[in-house]
Amino acid sequence: MSAAYPMMGNAPLTATGGRVADASNSFFADGPVVLPSGGPLYLQLKRWIEDAIHSGAVNPGDALPSERDLATKVDVSRVTVRKAVLQLVKDGVLVQRHGSGTFVAPITQRVEQSLSQLTSFTEDMARRGMAVRAEWLDRGLYIPSPEETVILGLSSGEQAARISRLRLTGETPLAIERASLSSHVLPDPASIGDSLYKHLDKFGNRPVRAIQRIRAANLGAEDAALLHVPEGSAGLNIERTSYLASGRVIEFTRSIYRGDTYDFVAELRLGDPAGAKP
Ligand code: 16G
């Protein structure tokens, strides 16, 4: 993916997920085009566009000319343009938005999350000055699965309140979160606002401790589409089980984070070597 996000890393992740589209980027309007030589024509065109992005002649968020205009300018068929563009979309270099065209993919900056603080997504992002929002994928009360019954310690008659959200900053999706809680704690899953932890806090149910398990994963088609990355991209599968001070489990959440946007950071201290004499 490094070629797919050539300028990732230093620039800020903007609230809109990229610069304002500029269909009149002068690079595409300037003089005759000399495609890099070798290989099929569509790959030459693909390399030409990639080089333009690498060199900064075209910027993240810039719009590509229409298929027809690009074909005329480069003097290739529209089929060749389509093939090159499709490949670049698949690689995550370009993004297509229905009705508005094709754009250079926005820059994404890696976000660091401490592994020693029990914070919420909203708090993590607020500390970085990033506005977050959620798109609801699902919320409702369900008959609990055996796993939910065991992990949440549900008694008979308790249902599982499930909330599934796509977490975004601006237009850039960062994570998918699928949380389960007891229906006693969250009888109306539709009532939580932007932040689950804020909602739980209101009722004195904010978790004070959590166990988090992190695994590498390659994203399946559905999750990859939600996160706007190519299928099979690297992701982080995270399970968080959170506890109240009483020891009761309050939340079990499975999250999938984009591997290209998140670093989880843990501070390590020298402990007492096992068996050390006082
Ligand atoms: C974090 C937690 C998630 C929790 C959410 C609450 C991880 C991996 N997960 O994203 O378990 O439900 O925060 O965030 O850190 P909210 O209060 O903004 O809804």
For the segment 239-265, what is each residue's pLDDT rounded down to a tens digit?
999 999 999 999 999 999 998 877 788
The response to whether residue 253 sits with its C-beta less than 6 Å from ligand 1 reads: yes
pLDDT at 4: 30
Question: How many A from CA of 28 to the centre of ligand 1?
Answer: 43
pTM greater than 0.75:
no
pLDDT band at 198 (very low <50, low <70, confident <90, very high): very high
Locate the ligand 1 atom nearest the alpha carbon of residue 242 and give its number. Answer: 11
- What's the CA gap between 124 and 10, in Å, rounded? 19
pLDDT at 20: 36
pLDDT, tens digit, 9 for 90 and up, residues 212-221: 999 999 999 9
The response to whether residue 169 sits with its C-beta less than 6 Å from ligand 1 reads: no
86 pLDDT exceeds 50? Answer: yes
Name the residue of 208, 236, 255, 257 to mutate for ligand 1: max ligand atoms within 8 A of Cβ. 255
Question: How many A from CA of 178 to the centre of ligand 1?
Answer: 10
pLDDT, tens digit, 9 for 90 and up, residues 14-69: 333 333 334 446 777 777 788 888 889 999 999 999 888 777 788 778 889 999 99
pLDDT at 2: 33
Q: 40-69 burial string, b = 16+ CB within 10 Å, else e?
A: ebbbbbbbebbebbeeeebbbbbbbbebee
The response to whether residue 241 sits with its C-beta less than 6 Å from ligand 1 reads: no
pLDDT, tens digit, 9 for 90 and up, residues 105-150: 776 667 777 788 898 999 888 877 777 889 999 999 999 999 999 9
Q: Which residue CA neighbors atom 5 of ligand 1 most closely?
A: 120
The response to whether residue 164 sits with its C-beta less than 6 Å from ligand 1 reads: no
Question: How many A from CA of 97 to the centre of ligand 1?
Answer: 28
Q: Which amino acid is at 141?
A: L
- What's the CA gap between 50 and 253, in Å, rounded? 38
Q: Which residue CA neighbors atom 13 of ligand 1 most closely?
A: 120
